Chains A and B, each alone.
Chain A
Amino acid sequence: MLCEICKKRPVAVSYTQVINNKKTQYSVCMKCAEEKGITNPLAGLPEVFGKIVANIIGEQFLPEREEGKKKSSARRCPKCNTALDKFEKTGLLGCDECYQAFGKELNTLLRRIHGSNKHIGSRPRPRRVVTEERDLLKLRAELDLAINKEKFERAAELRDLIRDAEREAGSKSAERGRKA
């Protein structure tokens, strides 16, 4: 039997890929197996979902698309200009505003994927508004350490950062001054 990929060399490995409970069997030669990264089970990071979404969405919106094909393809996110039908193809949204622009479709889609459309997990930490002073102290301490350890390249980087931070802090306090 010949390799399913190159169709030249004999089959050396047969393997079964299981993605979302869908099983596909492959029989390939050693070289193609190595090229596909089959030798490296550690490499396959979980990025295969995108392709599946397209299928789910395609199916989901099929009747709608038949009726109002023009309408669907004309819908775009006002911020990043991503079209709804492009999202249907790639499974990728273009920006955070897409979640609002395509809210109705996403509500249905998310419920279909996750069985839920409501986040109940953690929230981001409140951002530190007054960070400049603490950051500057930290940076200066790190700079001293870098100089002591004779890490001069890092010291130069830190010096630049401190200069930027000082400049930014200066312009912000000037702004605050103006507002007051």
Chain B
Amino acid sequence: MPNEKPLEFSKSTAKNLNSLTKRLPRWLDDNAPLANIVISTRVRLARNLAGYAFPNAAVGEELNDVIREVYRAMTPSDQLGAPIFLDMLRLGKLERKFLVERRLISPPYAESENPAMLVVGEDEYLSVMVNEEDHLRVQSIQPGLNVEEAWRLISQLDDELGEHLHYAFTDQFGYLTACPTNTGTGMRVSLFVHLPALAILEEIEKVIKKLASWEITVRGFYGEGTEVVGNIFQISNQLTLGRTEETIIKRMEEVGQKLVSLEDDARERLEEAQVVQVHDKVYRAIGIMKYARTLSSLELLNLLSYLRLGFDLALFKNKDRRFLNELMVTLQPAHIQKAHSEMDDDLSRDVQRARAVREKISALF
């Protein structure tokens, strides 16, 4: 039914985006298993609707029809609670960048000019990109190492959607996806891990080699030696076909546990060998955060990494560390600009970032 009617949710897009800017995602809580090292766990499922071309080959009204079908399947949804619907075509560059920073959309999705709908569950644990590389990219984020819980939530939503939508699926290949690297379960589990001791000791490469046989991909970035950026790595399962979801979940939990124990071990050795140097770095970071007048997002990530390490090494009396994740998310460029629309250049944002950090750190240390 092409051109059935305009997309119903579209007109509330701006209002809905603003409601997102005024709250924080629940996965920032660090009161979760091993959250000191594993910042968050994400599970995503790739799904397509039978009978429609995938987004890269769709023509005419097809993508709008996909949006209508998915919208219908989600209203109402037990699993999403009261979700927010965003018409991506109504969002400008800044808003899209904000959503990338918020981890609700991928960078290619932010660039896309296709009709697309983003659905965000009540507390941001669950979200769905409609018309990304596949018709649906369902995502579930949990704080800490918690693959089981992320899977439980996403699997329930997937079941609920599957009752209304006709997924492209065959017995041979499983869930059919645009890219064959996702075919089968369509499942990608990603762990965001903070590994400063392994980075300082220059053992990251060794660890990655060790993990290669676990069918794991390491993405993100790391600097050489002490020139490390943020020390946060993204570890994902590489393969999706010929493995059950349970196998992938179990393996990724094990990978998370293994990384935590390798990092813990590295921290012990680091404290033994270079205690003065490490403590010096942590306290210098606090010094800079207390007094700097400009801070780039890159510099802030490095400083937060040392501060996080300081908490983990129990250097401070104060145990409340939730602000680390909060600053990491809310002081990204588009987040600052959404909160202060006049800050449309790097310098004014760097000044604002330094001001916000100064206030927070001075109150705590």
Q: A124: CB under 8 A from chain B?
A: yes
For A30, give its contact among B75, B159, B245, B296 (CB under 8 Å).
B296
B223 engages A14 (CB within 8 Å) = yes
In Å, the complex CA distance between A92 and B219 comes to 21
Give chain B residues whose Cβ lies under 8 Å from the Cβ of A15: 221-223, 229
Q: A80-B57, A93-B178, A122-B244 are contacts. A13–B184 as well, Cβ < 8 Å?
A: no
Contacts A14-B223, A42-B101, A52-B181; A20 near B298 (Cβ below 8 A): no
- The minimal Cβ–Cβ distance linking B119 to chain A, given in whole angstroms, is 14
CA distance A21 to B219 in the complex (A): 9
Interface of A is mostly: loop
Give every chain A residue within 8 A of B50 (Cβ-Cβ): 96
Per the CB 8 Å criterion, the residue count for chain B at the interface is 87
Contacts A92-B178, A121-B185 known; A43 to B53 CB distance under 8 Å? Answer: no
Is the Cβ of B182 less than 8 Å from the Cβ of A49? yes
Whether B217 contacts A19 by the Cβ 8 Å rule is yes
Q: What bracket does the count of chain A residues touching chain B fall in?
A: 35 or more
Residue pair B53, A94 in contact (C-beta under 8 Å) = yes
Closest to B242 in A: A116
A170: Cβ under 8 A from any B Cβ: no
Q: When the two chains form their complex, are residues A128 and B234 in contact, meaning their CB atoms are under 8 A apart?
A: no
Interface membership of A50, Cβ < 8 A: yes
Q: B283 contacts the other chain (Cβ, under 8 Å)?
A: no
Q: What is the CA–CA distance of A117 and B172 in the complex, to the nearest angstrom?
A: 7
**Complex formed: what's the CA distance from A79 to B59 in Å?**
12
Contact with A along B46-67 (1 / 0, CB 8 A): 0010111110110000000000
Verify if A178 is at the interface (C-beta below 8 Å from B).
no
Which B199-239 residues have C-beta < 8 A from chain A?
Answer: 208, 212, 217-224, 227, 229-230, 232-234, 236, 238-239
Q: Which residues of A contact B54 (CB under 8 A)?
A: 80, 92-95
Judged by a CB distance under 8 angstroms, whether B33 is at the interface is no
Among A18, A52, A106, A128, the most chain B Cβ lie within 10 Å of the Cβ of: A18
Binds B, one of A2-10, A65-73, A153-161: A153-161
Q: Are the CB atoms of A120 and B244 closer together than 8 Å?
A: yes
A94 to B184, CA, bound (A): 17
Minimum Cβ distance to chain A for residue B346 (Å): 8
Which among B161-169, B250-258, B310-318 touches the partner chain?
A: B161-169
Q: What is the interface of chain B, defined by CB distance below 8 A to chain A?
A: 8-9, 12, 44, 48, 50-54, 56-57, 72, 75-76, 100-101, 103, 105-108, 133, 155, 159, 162-185, 187-188, 190, 192, 208, 212, 217-224, 227, 229-230, 232-234, 236, 238-245, 296-298, 301, 328-329, 332-333, 346
A positions within 8 Å CB-CB of B: 12-21, 30-31, 33-34, 37-50, 52-53, 79-82, 90-96, 99, 106, 109-110, 113-128, 131, 138-139, 142, 153, 157-158, 160-161
